[in-house]
């Protein structure tokens, strides 16, 4: 009977573990997500594991042994509850796969990372250092914000690259 199990990888070695498990004829699955992150003062699209340090393998328990998984390059071990190894329900894997883009095999979360009302910090430009409240996107590369200037709340438009993480 084929069942899915969760595998914990070593830090930042999910792809290595995936490749090595597939080389050993295991059916392995690493859910990934595409998101926007701030790197070197710019927003860039990156692809990362949906669950950092975790992937899944499908094993036919009557035919395949799980013993080689522990010593696979990139693998830290199988996820256990106490001493018991519990299978991941097929419905969970089906749900994760259904949420992926069919062409890329990744979940897409590249939409602008801020929601109306989020508190941000202005990083660049004449308003650098001021707290701001995100209102909405203003085109593809700009955002409408509310900032307090001279005792009044003022709406301004700034490049998205000029915004930093939430201030609290």
pLDDT tens digits for the chain (168 residues)? 899 999 999 999 999 999 999 999 999 999 998 877 778 877 788 899 989 999 999 999 889 999 999 999 999 999 999 999 999 999 999 988 888 877 777 776 666 667 788 888 888 888 888 899 988 877 767 888 899 887 888 888 888 778 877 655
Q: Are 100 and 50 in contact (CB under 8 A)?
A: no
Q: What CATH number should be reported for the domain whose range is 1-104? A: 3.30.70.940
Which residue bears the tokens 């340090």? 53
Q: What CATH number should be reported for the domain whose range is 106-167? A: 2.30.30.30
Q: Are 68 and 79 in contact (CB under 8 A)?
A: no
What is the predicted pLDDT for the residue at 57? 97
């Amino acid at each position: 009977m084929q069942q899915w199990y969760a595998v914990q990888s070593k830090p930042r070695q999910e792809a290595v573990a995936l490749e090595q498990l597939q080389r050993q004829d295991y059916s392995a699955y690493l859910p990934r997500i595409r998101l926007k992150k701030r790197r070197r003062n710019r927003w860039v699209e990156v692809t990362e594991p949906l669950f950092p340090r975790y992937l899944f393998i499908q094993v036919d328990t009557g035919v395949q042994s799980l013993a080689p998984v522990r010593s696979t390059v990139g693998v830290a071990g199988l996820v256990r509850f106490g001493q018991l190894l519990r299978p991941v329900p097929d419905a969970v894997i089906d749900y994760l796969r259904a949420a992926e883009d069919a062409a890329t095999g990744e979940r897409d979360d590249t939409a602008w990372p801020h929601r109306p009302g989020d508190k941000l910090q202005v990083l660049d430009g004449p308003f650098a250092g001021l707290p701001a409240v995100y209102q909405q996107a203003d085109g593809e590369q700009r955002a409408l914000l509310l900032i307090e200037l001279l005792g009044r709340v003022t709406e301004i438009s700034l490049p998205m690259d000029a915004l930093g993480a939430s201030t609290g």
